């Protein structure tokens, strides 16, 4: 029995990195997957790649940090999937910058992409989950909510906002069949992670290969994030709710 047989999954930021790795893993486990990503070319490329492997996924180019984009993502997902059993709020962005150089526009950009996007998507999807009395929400957070990285004040603040919102949703809707959990990765080998490490190096902050290895043994692979997402999306995690799963190989344990 495949672990996500007959389950429908909407992944925001699903075209690249950990979201794409999850889409690949989820379809192989029997899920019907829809991805919403503002990088339309990457979304089409993943759709083609999976199509050639015999899997059909749906995709839409949408910026889920806006009311219109989130609405488009939700409508397109419902048209393709019929219903959304699992919402994976994975889309997010990074900013590496000294705190005093950060602008109000950057504050808004980080909050919009990392916190408001998850709010917009969740409030669209949750009502139909409540009608069915069952639904699974997964949010991608970061180790930065526990052990902050230098020069990432706005990133950590925006992730912390979405992080506590997710835990509050778990508490509020537990008795109506909703599970809501968090994945908190350290450095992952994706465009986001590689850009972050390069920026830290530019500023002369740790992040050499040996620094990363000292903190977490080695870089995390996107497939290792996807395996945790699979666990949280499946019934194997039926009693896991409001949890923060650190995918960091001791980064936050030290
Ligand atoms: N890579 C890391 O080291 C790392 C560590 C901790 C947490 N994270 C979190 O993982 C998530 C994504 O990172 P990744 O590592 O998979 O990176 P990635 O850059 O490979 O993928 C992110 C995807 O999200 C999409 N996206 C971003 N903002 C969007 C928006 N507003 N609307 C639609 N799509 C949007 C991008 O186009 C991209 O395809 C983020 O939430 C990030 O905070 C990453």
Mean pLDDT confidence for 101-123? 98
In tens, the pLDDT along 155-211 reads 999 999 999 999 999 999 999 999 999 999 999 999 999 999 999 999 998 778 888
Residue 162: Cβ within 10 Å count:
25
E-strand ranges in 144-249 read: 178-185, 244-247
pTM value?
0.98
**Helix axis angle, 117-132 to 67-81, nearest 10°:** 40
Q: Is residue 196 part of a domain?
A: no
Q: Is residue 193 part of a domain?
A: no
CATH code of the domain containing 168: 3.40.50.720
Q: Is residue 151 part of a domain?
A: yes
- Of 80, 64, 79, the closest CA to residue 13 belongs to 64
Which two tokens mark 27? Answer: 């379809």
- Looking at residue 207, what is its pLDDT? 73
How many domains is the chain partitioned into structurally?
1
Which two tokens mark 129? Answer: 């989950």
- Looking at residue 1, what is its pLDDT? 87
Choice from 18, 20, 21 to test ligand 1 binding pocket (greatest atom count within 8 A of CB): 18
Residues whose beta carbon lies within 6 Å of some atom of ligand 1: 12-13, 15-19, 37-39, 42, 63-65, 90-93, 113, 117, 140, 142, 185, 187-188, 190-193, 196
Q: How far is the CA of 190 from the centre of ligand 1 (A)?
A: 8
Does the annotation count 155 as an active-site position?
Answer: yes
Residues 6+ apart with CB under 8 A from 252: 143, 146, 147, 184, 186, 246
In tens, the pLDDT along 3-33 reads 999 999 999 999 999 999 999 999 999 999 9
- Of 111, 110, 126, 210, the closest CA to residue 173 belongs to 126
What is the domain range of residue 25? 8-188+221-247
Q: Is residue 90 part of a domain?
A: yes
Q: How far is the CA of 192 from the centre of ligand 1 (A)?
A: 6
In tens, the pLDDT along 34-90 reads 999 999 999 999 999 999 999 999 999 999 999 999 999 999 999 999 999 999 999
Which two tokens mark 159? Answer: 């992730």
């Amino acid at each position: 029995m495949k672990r996500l047989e007959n389950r429908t999954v909407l992944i925001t930021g699903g075209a690249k990195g950990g979201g794409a790795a999850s889409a690949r893993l989820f379809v192989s486990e029997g899920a019907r997957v829809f991805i919403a990503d503002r990088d339309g070319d990457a979304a089409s490329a993943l759709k083609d790649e999976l199509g050639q492997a015999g899997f059909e996924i749906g995709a839409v180019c949408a910026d889920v940090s806006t009311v219109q984009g989130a609405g488009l993502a939700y409508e397109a997902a419902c048209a393709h999937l019929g219903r959304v059993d699992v919402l994976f709020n994975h889309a997010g962005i990074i900013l590496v910058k000294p705190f005093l150089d950060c602008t109000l526009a950057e504050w808004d950009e980080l909050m919009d992409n990392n916190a408001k996007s998850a709010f917009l998507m969740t409030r669209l999807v949750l009502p139909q989950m409540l009608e069915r009395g069952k639904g699974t929400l997964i949010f991608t957070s970061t180790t930065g909510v526990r052990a902050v990285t230098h020069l990432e004040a706005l990133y950590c603040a925006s992730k912390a906002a979405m992080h506590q919102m997710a835990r509050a949703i778990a508490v509020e809707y537990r008795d109506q069949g909703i599970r809501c959990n968090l994945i908190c990765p350290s450095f992952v080998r994706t465009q986001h992670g590689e850009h972050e490490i390069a920026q830290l190096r530019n500023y002369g902050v740790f992040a050499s290969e040996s620094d990363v290895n000292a903190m977490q043994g080695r870089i995390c692979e996107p497939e290792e994030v996807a395996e945790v997402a699979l666990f949280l999306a499946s019934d194997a995690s039926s009693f896991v709710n409001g949890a923060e799963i650190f995918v960091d190989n001791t980064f936050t344990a030290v």
